[in-house]
Structure 1
Amino acid sequence: MRKFEEVTTESKEIFKGKIVHLKVDTVTLPDGNTSKREIIKHPGAVAVIAQKEDGKIIFVEQYRKALEKSVVEIPAGKLEEGEDPLVTAKRELEEETGYTTDNLQLINSFYTSPGFADELVNVYFTDQLTKLEHNVAGDEDEFVELMELTLEEAEQLEKEQRIHDAKTSYALLYLKIRGLK
């Protein structure tokens, strides 16, 4: 057994939804004792830092039921089963913003909440955007409003907690480090 490894001795699926699955695992701890772990299985997601030629960054505002409020975020979405994250990133960019690109660079990926979920978000960057002639239909239950902001405007929204999620805060830090003014 590797240091700190927990060995699953039993796994029980509690809920299987459209996006997430919840299971409860019984594990043997490194010291030999047992414990329960509640785990959310998620297909993974992408997020896109999309910067226009004028330096403005593309965001979307949408209502997030889990938070009971609207938040401003970078374009993002979940992976479809078996879908390449790069394909997902381009699709989500087109659906949510009306822009496309042939140049998406993977910046990094991170687990959103490794204490209880396996969701991995792949973050891409592009500064080569083309406006689509016709909007691409998005998810029928998703309503978003496009926003184009300077870094300073976005940082102000973060202070106001209108930008209040990890992937978008990560994007702002990335742009600041990259030297966007």
Structure 2
Amino acid sequence: MPEHPAEPNDPADSHLIEHKVHSQELLHGHFLHAFRDTVRLPDGREASREYVRHPGAVMIIAQLDDGRLVLERQYRYPVQAVMLEFPAGKLDAGEQPLACAQRELREETGYSAASWAHAGVMHPVISYSTEFIDIWFARDLTLGARKLDAGEFLDVFTAAPVELLQWCRDGRVTDGKTLTGALWLQNVLSGAWTLDWQTAAHWASGR
């Protein structure tokens, strides 16, 4: 299972760390892989932890030459609502995050990007999943044909950054990854945070 590299635990945090004693598989579905682990707590007692293993995902903050953002509207069955989101998608087995970002942007929106910048990583549901989302910025876009997966239905539209930030403020955007993307976007546009823009080929060669 690919996992985003994490910083090693600080020895000073040993009083917080839990250690796996036993693991039981609960579900191995098409998408979800769920487990119940028995862990030893820092005080020596045991407890149960249920969680979902996830291969990881990417999110793309794609900006047109005029500054407008490429966004999506997609129905999300678990919350029974159409959500406003940045383009995103799950990593295929063995797939590198940038390759996934390129593929998902092209398939879902039709756009390809000549320039990419890696922003960071987020863990959206740390209490019950191993999922991480790699955050990428994309620019110098060219539009081609979309190639949605079977059973995938979504609308693609563009909006100015100020519109997206207002939707976050008003509660129209509640998707966690998109809210995190908006935080990155706001700080990049203000100059508070900087990005290392490179071609896809540069990133693929190992930065």
Give the TM-score normalised by structure 1. Answer: 0.93
% of aligned pairs identical?
34
Shift of 1:5: 1.8
Structure 2 residue corresponding to 1:178, chosen from 147, 165, 188: 188
Q: Does residue 19 in structure 1 map to residue 25 in structure 2?
A: no
For 2:46 and 2:142, locate their aligned partners in 1 and report how far apart those are by CA, in whole Å.
Answer: 55
Q: In structure 2, the residue corresponding to 1:63 is in which secondary structure? A: strand
Deviations 1:31-59 (A, max 9, x none): 01000000110010000000000010000
Q: In structure 1, the residue corresponding to 2:42 is in which secondary structure? A: coil
Q: Does residue 8 in structure 1 map to residue 20 in structure 2?
A: yes
For 1:160 and 1:143, locate their aligned partners in 2 and report how far apart those are by CA, in whole Å.
Answer: 25
Shift of 1:102: 3.0
Q: How does 1:157-172 map to 2 (within 5 A)?
A: 157-172=167-182
Q: Give 2:130's aligned residue.
A: 118
One-letter amino acid of the counterpart of residue 18, structure 2: E
Give the TM-score normalised by structure 2. Answer: 0.82
Q: Does residue 70 in structure 1 map to residue 105 in structure 2?
A: no
Q: Tell whether the 8 Å contact from 1:48 to 1:124 is kept in structure 2 after alignment.
A: yes
Q: How does 1:100-115 map to 2 (within 5 A)?
A: 100-115=112-127
More helix by share: 2
RMSD: 1.4
For 1:122 and 1:107, locate their aligned partners in 2 and report how far apart those are by CA, in whole Å.
Answer: 8
Shift of 1:177: 1.3
Q: Does residue 145 in structure 1 map to residue 155 in structure 2?
A: yes
Q: Give 2:107's aligned residue.
A: 95
One-letter amino acid of the counterpart of residue 47, structure 2: S
Q: Tell whether the 8 Å contact from 1:19 to 1:43 is kept in structure 2 after alignment.
A: no
For 1:18 and 1:125, locate their aligned partners in 2 and report how far apart those are by CA, in whole Å.
Answer: 29
Shift of 1:136: 3.7
Q: In structure 1, the residue corresponding to 2:43 is in which secondary structure? A: coil
Q: In structure 1, the residue corresponding to 2:84 is in which secondary structure? A: strand
List gaps (5 residues or longer) in structure 2. 1-10, 191-207
Shift of 1:159: 3.4
Shift of 1:3: 3.3
Q: In structure 1, the residue corresponding to 2:104 is in which secondary structure? A: helix
Shift of 1:164: 1.0
For 1:118 and 1:93, locate their aligned partners in 2 and report how far apart those are by CA, in whole Å.
Answer: 23
Deviations 1:93-148 (A, max 9, x none): 0011110013221100011111111101000001211112xx14221111110110
One-letter amino acid of the counterpart of residue 124, structure 2: T
For 1:27 and 1:142, locate their aligned partners in 2 and report how far apart those are by CA, in whole Å.
Answer: 38
List gaps (5 residues or longer) in structure 1. none
Aligned length: 178
One-letter amino acid of the counterpart of residue 111, structure 1: H
Shift of 1:87: 0.6
Q: Tell whether the 8 Å contact from 2:114 to 2:139 is kept in structure 1 after alignment.
A: no
